[in-house]
Amino acid sequence: MSLKSKFKIILAKLVLQNSTPNGIALGIAIGVFIGILPIYGLHTILVVIAAIIVRPANKVAIFLGTNISLPPTVPFITWAGYEVGRFMFKGRFDPLSWSDFQNITFQKIAMRYQPLFFGSVVLGFICAAVAYLLTFFIVRNIINRRKHVSGI
């Protein structure tokens, strides 16, 4: 058996594993939560850990959910998480400006990481809950339509 064939079999097993509406929605929600966290460079490690620990979740869906933090969305997610954190810390931190993103330094990130992290955790829970509900109902409706069309 070729390496390509083995890869296809492994990928098919991953996709089909826990392919219930709950399993897929849970995977997407976990991925969205991880993707929103400001743990730059560690998302993949958390995805692997979550895929091992959270057995009912669809493994591919966890990975797909993290794609919420693609380069075009990162500034918006960062701004939203930081603003939630500023609200939590009652405005003790200055608001972000566009120049903060243009002239980013490690020192600037370190100074504002506390509200960014805690705000992102809250934002991540909210977005994960919304993603779970949307995914669950969409997948359930797709499955029901397929059953209805096939007459099962």
Number of domains, the chain: 1
The pLDDT assigned to 11 comes to 61
Query: 10 in a domain, yes or no?
Result: no
Query: 149 in a domain, yes or no?
Result: no
What is the mean pLDDT for each group of 10 consecutive residues in the chain (152 residues)?
Answer: 74 66 94 95 94 92 92 92 94 83 81 95 98 93 79 60
Query: Alpha-carbon distance 41 to 13, whole Å?
Result: 27
The pLDDT assigned to 151 comes to 63
Query: Alpha-carbon distance 149 to 30, whole Å?
Result: 31
Query: 77 in a domain, yes or no?
Result: yes
Single out the residue of 84, 82, 83, 50 nearest to residue 65, CA to CA: 50
Query: 24 in a domain, yes or no?
Result: yes
The pLDDT assigned to 146 comes to 75
Instruction: Show the domain range for 118.
Output: 20-143
